[in-house]
Structure 1
């Protein structure tokens, strides 16, 4: 049965691949599974039909028969557990890959999202100039720890895994902000992720939606 995932009808990221459906698309491309997309307007995301799938009215969701999931990390874990290619066969390595999945969405992503929100919502506030360096210092602390752990390795723990997929998806949000400049091994890590054919297929599919909607 082909799964259906939800995505923005008009993504606020301008087609840069930052919306969280992108990471689910990438996972499906990595394991070679087909999928369908249901595009939602911001209004539709708050209607009862979608809230029954995602109680917080966000995207993406996953629908496959009677199974409905939300939260991109949970969806990717579901995909990785069912299809080879995103989790190692060795039990200990598998557990470590799952740990990196949680680290990406629980440790690395929150301060990055907080900085983005401050830039969008608080730019005109009198405290913004003082608060932004504090937020960026918090990000640098976590980037520094991640950089040290990665070292000169290609991926976080041996071969590419769902942990890397999520971590790269999170770090991509820093491109253009200058925050990866102090950590060249992380910049190279992100570039390796973006260079994967599965990432490129997912990115092209997500960007095509933006262009289609921009023309209409």
Structure 2
């Protein structure tokens, strides 16, 4: 049965691959599963039909038969458990890969999102100059810890896994800021993720949606839903 996921009708990042549906697309591409995409506008995300799938009015969601899921980590975990290619067969290696999925979302991503908020939405505040170094230090602390753990390895635990998929997706949020430049092994790690054919297909699919939306908007005064600013942030 073909799964259906939801994605932004017009992604706030303009198709840079930062919207969380890219992570789900990537997972599905890695395991070779076909999927359909239902595009939703910002207003539709707050309507009862979408809220029945995602009670917080965000994307992505995942539907397969009578199963409906939300939260990117849960969706990718479900895909990885259901199909071969993202979790090792060995029980201990499988548990470690799942641990890295949680680490990406629970340990690495929160300070990165905090930095994104400070950078994008608080830079004009009178206290921004005092707060920003503290926020950056929290990100650098996590990057340093992860850099030491990864070392010269290509992937976290042997072969590429769902843990790497989630970790690369999180680190991609820092690419535009230049903060990864101080950690060459992390920059190379992210580049390896971006070079995977499955990631390229997922990225191109999201980019195509946003290119089509931009073309459709040509000559208009603007989308009725408007656009939110996003670089390292998304819902």
TM over 0.5: yes
1:53-64 matches, cutoff 5 A: 53-64=53-64
Q: Distance in 2 between matches of 1:160 and 1:174?
A: 21
> Alpha-carbon deviation of 1:132?
1.3
Q: Distance in 2 between matches of 1:31 and 1:110?
A: 28
Unpaired stretches in structure 2, ≥5 consecutive residues: 217-235
Q: Distance in 2 between matches of 1:215 and 1:119?
A: 29
1:1-216 matches, cutoff 5 A: 1-216=1-216
How many residues of Structure 1 are paired with residues of Structure 2 in the alignment? 216
Higher RCO (C-alpha under 8 Å, 6+ residues apart): 2
Q: Secondary structure at the match of 1:15?
A: coil
> Alpha-carbon deviation of 1:120?
2.2
Q: Secondary structure at the match of 1:185?
A: helix
Query: What is the CA deviation profile of residues 144-189 of structure 1, one whole-angstrom value per residue up to 9, with x for unaligned ones?
Result: 0100000000001111000000000000111121111111000000
Q: Secondary structure at the match of 2:88?
A: coil
Between 1:119-128 and 1:44-53, the stretch displaced more is: 119-128
Q: Distance in 1 between matches of 2:213 and 2:80?
A: 31
Q: Distance in 2 between matches of 1:121 and 1:176?
A: 16
Q: Distance in 2 between matches of 1:45 and 1:180?
A: 33
> Alpha-carbon deviation of 1:37?
0.5
> Alpha-carbon deviation of 1:58?
0.5
> Alpha-carbon deviation of 1:122?
1.2
Question: 4+ runs of 1 displaced by more than 4 Å?
Answer: none
Q: Secondary structure at the match of 1:69?
A: strand
Q: Distance in 2 between matches of 1:76 and 1:13?
A: 21
TM-score, with normalisation over the residues of structure 1?
0.99
Unpaired stretches in structure 1, ≥5 consecutive residues: none
User: RMSD in angstroms over aligned alpha carbons?
Assistant: 0.7
Q: Secondary structure at the match of 1:153?
A: coil
Between 1:155-164 and 1:127-136, the stretch displaced more is: 127-136
